[in-house]
Structure 1
Amino acid sequence: MSEGNHDVFHLGLNRSDLEGAEIALIPGDPGRVPKIATHLENARDLANTREYRSMLGFSGETPVLVMSTGIGGPSAAIAVEELALLGVKRFLRIGTTGAIQPHIEASDVVITTAAVRMDGASRHIAPQEYPAVADFHMVRRLVAAAERIGARYHLGVTASSDTFYQGQGRKDSFRKGFVHRELANKIEELQNLNVLSYEMEAGTVLTQTSAYGLGGACISGVLVNRTRAEFPDAAVIGETVLKTIQVAIASLKED
């Protein structure tokens, strides 16, 4: 990383650190950054501050930034804001998700076309009526990549919740089963609206990128189907994360 003052407040990065990168792969987990970067060429560390760990690599001659955003919309919104200030134009979230439709299996991938905005951060960017939609061209590339490598995928709407427990209808929180009335039957409502899964960042990222005239997309590995289980099989996690990364990286090579 270059010395001197940083160009943005939180990320520990200068514009020159990115070497002209206009695409960012943004997982939530800092530990997932090197797992993604290993699929790029000549990857190197940039910074590691707060929840934002960053590395730079190349897909052919194209510089690609990999940077974690932490959990949830507020920290993801900071990441998108500051990376946009540094010249990034396309944001591909690589995450995990819990399916709520019975036909989706653990280890499948979900490619988000739009997100239900159950977050708070996106409301600071655009009014609630504004849709959280993915960039068509990025979605098309993800679909083509999944088909090329033989990954089973599902295309559709996901729900972005600010909370992992109450907002996603889990009954194993501290208050053992209590969810206030606005959320008590939310999972059934979303299932009936053909929402595929819960995650925590796409609503913010897609609202923000659309409102800013940037490109945004989200691919998530399915760790568990919540119509059958609440906790993922440990053996499935590594396989699912790897498959999701492979599809995301492969999408960079699509014309």
Structure 2
Amino acid sequence: MDTVYHLDLNSKKIQGAKIALLPGDPFRSQIIAETISGIYRTGNEKLAWKREFCTYLAEIGGRPLLVTSTGIGGPSASIAIDELAQLGIETFLRVGTTGAIQQFINIGDVIITSGSVRLDGASTHYAPIEYPAVAHHEVINALIEGAKKTNAPYHVGVTASSDTFYPGEERNDSFTKYVLKRFQGSTNEWQRLHVLNYEMESSTVLTLTASMGLRGGCITGVVNRGGTGKITKEALKAGEENVIRVAIAAAECLI
């Protein structure tokens, strides 16, 4: 029984799980697993933690699911998805945080990504840039139902998914304070094209899953407005709590 290299998992460890929740932060894997245990009165088990990839086994309705962190950005997310798919995972749901770029979106709201602007590089190693990064309709429907069930304010739409946190999201609070010409004015352009938010993994998650014939989706909690200001503890708490509650409710629908 082969163990996949980066995740340090094998098919025996995951006990037949077919769904994986994918936070970026490895410490969020434990938070999600413990939240699931608290809601459904079930146990959870840490299966592995290697590099940025921390995996817990949890249970909803008597059926197993994984919570595996991907780290930050497309390259590490692509490794997690590829290796989980090798082990038999069929549904992938990114559970993350985001910066909103539309004024009608508030801190603590959740954004359900229907499709992503592919500002990354990792996804191009799996499908050409003309290939759309789109969420699976069943996952979108489950996320909407999850938001309604938990009374979380939500928005459905397009996300800009960048390889970099600073220049790619047109932030000027970096070391150099400089944004390359190709990104200058990009936020205004995405706003005019009705893009809702910035984050860093959805284009990889959605391109890989769609191109592999698997189910993929992305939900993020709003913790700031893209390109402006710092992320406060209060904003992070609001975004994380809401996105985790909705993602778990959606997983119950999907499982």
TM-score bracket for this pair, using the shorter chain length = over 0.9
Structure 2 equivalent of residue 8 of structure 1: 4
Aligned amino acid, residue 130 of structure 1: Y
Tell me the residue number matched to 2:32.
Answer: 36
Displacement of 1:226 in angstroms is 3.5
1:100-249 alignment, distance < 5 Å: 100-176=101-177, 178-226=178-226, 229-249=228-248
Contact 2:169–2:226 at 8 Å: present in 1 too? no
Q: How far off its partner does 1:7 sit?
A: 2.2
> Which TM-score applies when normalising by structure 1?
0.95
Q: Tell me, what secondary structure is at the counterpart of 1:78?
A: helix
CA contact (8 A) 2:136 2:217 kept: yes
Instruction: Give 1:230's aligned amino acid.
Output: G
Once the 2 structures are TM-superposed, how far is the Cα of residue 95 of structure 1 from its aligned partner?
0.2
Q: State whether structure 2 residue 25 is matched by structure 1 residue 25.
A: no
Q: Is the 8 A contact 2:223 2:238 kept in 1?
A: no
* Residue pairs, 1:30-109, within 5 angstroms: 30-40=26-36, 41-109=42-110
What is the deviation of 1:141? 0.7
Give the AA of the match of 2:47. L
Deviation, structure 1 residue 247:
0.5
Q: In the alignment, residue 25 of structure 2 is paired with which amino acid?
A: D
Once residues 159 and 126 of structure 1 are traced to their aligned partners in structure 2, the CA distance between those partners, rounded to angstroms, is 18
Q: Which runs of 4+ in 1 moved over 6 A?
A: none
Could you tell me which runs of 5 or more consecutive residues in structure 1 were left unpaired when the two chains were aligned.
none
Give the letter for the 1:199 counterpart: E
Q: What RMSD, in angstroms, separates the aligned Cα atoms of the two structures?
A: 1.2
Amino acid at match of 1:215: R
Letter in 1 for 2:248: I
Would you say the 8 A contact 2:198–2:226 is kept in 1?
no
Q: Please give the secondary structure, in 2, of the residue aligned with 1:32.
A: helix
Structure 1 range deviating more: 94-103 or 167-176: 167-176
Aligned-partner Cα distance in 2 for 1:169–1:239: 24
Compute the displacement of 1:174 (Å): 1.4
Question: d(CA) in 2 for partners of 1:222 and 1:191?
Answer: 16
Distance 2:106 2:60 in 1: 30
Supply the AA of the counterpart residue of 2:133. Answer: A
Q: TM-score, normalised by structure 2?
A: 0.95
Unaligned runs of 5+ in 2: 37-41
Please tell me the residue identity of whatever aligns with 2:79: I
Q: Distance in 2 between matches of 1:233 and 1:80?
A: 30
| Deviation string, structure 1 residues 137-167 (Cα, Å, up to 9, x no partner) | 1110110110121100000000100000000
Partner Cα separation in structure 2 for residue 86 and residue 218 of structure 1: 21
Q: CA deviation at 1:6?
A: 4.5
Deviation at 1:236, TM superposition (A): 2.4
Write the letter of the residue equivalent to 1:89.
Answer: E
Q: Give the aligned residue type for 1:219.
A: I
Q: Output one character per residue of 1:31-72: Cα deviation in whole Å (capped at 9) or x when no partner.
A: 101100012221001001010011101001110100100000
CA distance in 1, matches of 2:150, 2:204: 29
Q: SS in structure 2 opposite 1:252?
A: helix
* Aligned positions, number: 249
The alignment-based identity, stated in percent, is 48
Q: Counterparts of 2:62 and 2:174 in 1: how far apart (Å)?
A: 47
Q: Is the 8 A contact 1:6 1:12 kept in 2?
A: no
